[in-house]
């Protein structure tokens, strides 16, 4: 055990002011699926990029401060909490587990993520959920323009307002927005809220610790006019 991080009864404490980020990620990635070192606290992150990427063990990781680009990228099973803000590409390509940022997230949060749950307590910038492929994302604040661009599957919940071109070129992801939508993207339209939609939304709101009800949200989805090229739709591609 390095002198610059220590194990307490509760957690491994890793100080990024004293040891390189590469060492942290190597230690986390080496845990594998079975470990008794299940709780990690990372102090002095100072906005470093790629903190806790590629973790495949079901461990709890708490980052005490702001994180830079691609924090918790490729997460597969870990529960990552960021007590601060997160930069571009938070939880990018996540497979499973939970990533919870207590502040705001920059652009492309949850990009291409295949599974798991991403919770953003604050606001999300542009392209939240871009090309999402099965992840569930709950934004308690507002989301920026082009959110859910080319989203293929999964659920995006926005408890605040959504920016321009929501759901542009959407496939089969479900979008739920409580507030105002500045504009809808190509092939995105309002949908009737079914009993299944309400059940999915209610479960996600509960998991994220939200007090809203499904009845306060509008559901958006694909109009399915861009699935196959048609000359009449050429201007929308």
Residue pLDDT, tens place only, 68-89: 999 999 999 999 999 999 999 9
Q: Tell me the average pLDDT across 162-180.
A: 97
User: Could you give the 3-state DSSP secondary structure of residue 161?
Assistant: coil
What digits encode the pLDDT tens for the residues 200-219?
Answer: 999 999 999 999 999 999 99
Residue 15 pLDDT more than 90?
A: yes
Question: 13 is in which domain, residue-wise?
Answer: 1-49
Do residues 19 and 118 both lie within one domain? no
The answer to the question of residue 124 being in a domain is yes
d(CA 60, CA 37): 9
- Tell me, yes or no, whether 21 and 118 share the same domain: no
In this structure, are 8 and 119 located in the same domain? no
Kindly report, residue by residue over 91-130, the tens digit of the pLDDT.
999 999 999 999 999 999 999 999 999 999 999 999 999 9
Name the band, by pLDDT with cuts 50, 70 and 90, for residue 133: very high
pTM for the structure as a whole: 0.92
Domain membership flag for residue 157? yes
Domain count, the chain: 2
User: Which has more pLDDT, 10 or 225?
Assistant: 225
Q: For residue 11, what pLDDT is reported? A: 82
What local confidence, expressed as pLDDT, does residue 206 receive? 98
Please indicate, yes or no, whether residues 41 and 90 belong to a single structural domain of this protein: no
- For the domain that residue 235 is a member of, what is the CATH number? 2.160.20.60
Tell me, what's the pLDDT at 228?
Answer: 64
Residue 117 included in any domain: yes
Distance CA 178, CA 216 (A): 6
Same domain for 115 and 30: no
| Euclidean distance between CA atoms 138 and 19, whole angstroms | 33
Residues 6+ away with beta carbon under 8 Å from 133: 112, 113, 114, 152, 153, 154
Same domain for 229 and 145, yes or no, is: yes
Is 70 a member of any domain?
no
């Amino acid at each position: 055990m390095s002198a610059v991080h220590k194990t307490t009864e509760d957690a491994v404490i890793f100080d990024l002011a004293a040891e390189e980020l590469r060492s942290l990620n190597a230690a986390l990635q080496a845990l594998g699926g079975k470990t008794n070192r299940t709780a990690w606290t990372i102090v002095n992150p100072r906005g470093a990029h790629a903190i806790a990427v590629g973790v495949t063990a079901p461990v709890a990781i708490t980052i005490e401060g702001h994180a830079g680009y691609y924090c918790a990228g490729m997460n597969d099973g870990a529960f990552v909490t960021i007590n601060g803000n997160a930069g571009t590409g938070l939880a990018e390509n996540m497979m499973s587990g939970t990533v919870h940022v207590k502040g705001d997230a920059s652009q492309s949060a949850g990009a291409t993520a295949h599974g798991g749950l991403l919770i953003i307590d604050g606001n999300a910038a542009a392209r939240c959920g871009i090309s999402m492929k099965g992840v569930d994302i709950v934004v308690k604040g507002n989301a920026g323009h082009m959110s859910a661009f080319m989203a293929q599957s999964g659920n995006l919940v926005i408890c605040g307002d959504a920016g321009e071109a929501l759901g542009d070129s959407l496939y089969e992801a479900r979008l739920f927005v409580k507030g105002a939508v500045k504009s809808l993207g190509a092939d995105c339209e309002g949908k009737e809220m079914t009993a299944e939609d309400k059940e999915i939304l209610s479960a996600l709101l509960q998991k994220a610790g939200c007090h809203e009800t499904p009845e306060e949200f509008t559901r958006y989805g694909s109009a399915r006019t861009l699935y196959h090229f048609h000359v009449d739709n050429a201007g929308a591609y």
